[in-house]
Amino acid sequence: MSVLPSDPVDPPVAAATRDPSPAPVERLSLQLRRRRAGAARCEPLPDGRRDPFEPVPDTRRGWSELDRCAAALLYLQRQGLPGLPSPDVAQALARYPERYAAVLPRRPAA
């Protein structure tokens, strides 16, 4: 049966207006899995990501995390133990000496 121009609904238009089937979603998830698998095989970028379309990780530490680190260091100091934060935490604490002066590592007198 041929489709005449006088038909009220053109079959391609009717097909495009129907609800999409779940097949496109499945294809999208398959594409994402393939992309992640391919990115895992690549060399890492300088910031540690393997996929250039992933968002750049935010390595800045928030106040709550710094406050928890400072509280842990202060607890260790009160127990007589040396608290040795990781270099990036020590740098972050050193950026705010007025807030974290009590827990900043002190240099020995020369």
Q: Per the domain annotation, does 22 fall within a domain?
A: yes
Number of domains composing the chain: 2
Overall average pLDDT of the 11-28 stretch: 62
Q: Which amino acid is at 71?
A: A
Whether residues 16 and 53 share a domain: the answer is yes
Phi-psi region of 48 (alpha: psi -120 to 50; beta: other; left: phi over 0): left
Whether residues 45 and 18 share a domain: the answer is yes
Whether residues 45 and 74 share a domain: the answer is no
> What pLDDT is stored for residue 27 in this prediction?
83
Given a cut of 70, is residue 95 above it in pLDDT?
yes
Q: Per the domain annotation, does 3 fall within a domain?
A: no
Query: How far apart, in Å, do the first and last CA atoms of the chain sit?
Result: 98
Whether residues 67 and 39 share a domain: the answer is no
Whether residues 20 and 42 share a domain: the answer is yes
Overall average pLDDT of the 64-85 stretch: 88
Q: Per the domain annotation, does 109 fall within a domain?
A: no
Given a cut of 70, is residue 66 above it in pLDDT?
yes
d(CA 26, CA 10): 28
Whether residues 17 and 46 share a domain: the answer is yes
Whether residues 23 and 44 share a domain: the answer is yes
Task: Please calculate the CA angle 58-59-62 and round it to the nearest 5 degrees.
Answer: 90
**Mean per-residue pLDDT of the chain:** 76
d(CA 83, CA 11): 73
pLDDT tens-digit profile of 24-57? 667 888 888 888 888 888 888 877 788 887 777 6
Whether residues 15 and 53 share a domain: the answer is yes
**Domain coverage including residue 70:** 63-100
